[in-house]
Structure 1
Amino acid sequence: MSKFKFKIKCDEANHVCDKTQYEDASLWEKIILSLHLIYCRACRKYSKNNATLTETIAKSEIVCLEKSCKDAMKKDLDKAIREVSN
């Protein structure tokens, strides 16, 4: 019996697709995903949408808040929540 698994379920394929998007998937996972995408239309669509999302985010010119600003907002939010709950 082989220790390699050649077939994966769709939820696992989607997980590997997400890992691939963030360059976290191993070569073996990428190979198995490719085999799965040959016969699974739903996962091909998921993979295509994932690639489109990654490309769109990479092309965007989104400017994020600095950490100090985020921390100040979190502190203000926590304070407001405490005031409302009292």
Structure 2
Amino acid sequence: MSKIKFFIPCDDANHVCDKTQYKEATLWEMIKLNIHLLYCKFCREYTKNNAKLTKVLKKSEVECLDKKCKESMKLDFEKALKEHSDQ
């Protein structure tokens, strides 16, 4: 039987915090994150800043590029990069 890990390192906690921001974290990940936040002031600060960032972005009127435009830009960039490396 495998040992259940409740404690996670800060890197993992920050990753779960990021996933939580985008509603991609599982319940188990969020439980482990909350246990970690009980004893780690640095990750509590990271989580607090992440929450502020999310709030600001939701209030902003920033419009993201659509997928087609992003893909076009990517292709143009790759073409320019290839041309530059061929010289």
Unaligned runs of 5+ in 1: none
Q: Map 1:69-84; keep pairs closer than 5 Å.
A: 70=70
| Farther-moved stretch of structure 1 (49-58 vs 59-68) | 59-68
Rg comparison, structure with higher value: 1
Work out the number of aligned pairs and report it.
86
CA RMSD of aligned residues (A): 2.3
Secondary structure at 1:3 match in 2: coil
Give % identity: 60
> Scaled by the length of structure 1, what TM-score is found?
0.76
> Scaled by the length of structure 2, what TM-score is found?
0.76
Unaligned runs of 5+ in 2: none
2:42 corresponding residue in structure 1: 42
1:4 corresponding residue in structure 2: 4
In 1, distance between residues paired with 2:12 and 2:78? 37
How big is the shift at 1:76?
5.6
**Which whole-Å deviations, capped at 9, do the CAs of 1:8-45 have from their partners, x for residues lacking one?**
11011001101111111100110110011011000000
| Farther-moved stretch of structure 1 (53-62 vs 72-81) | 72-81
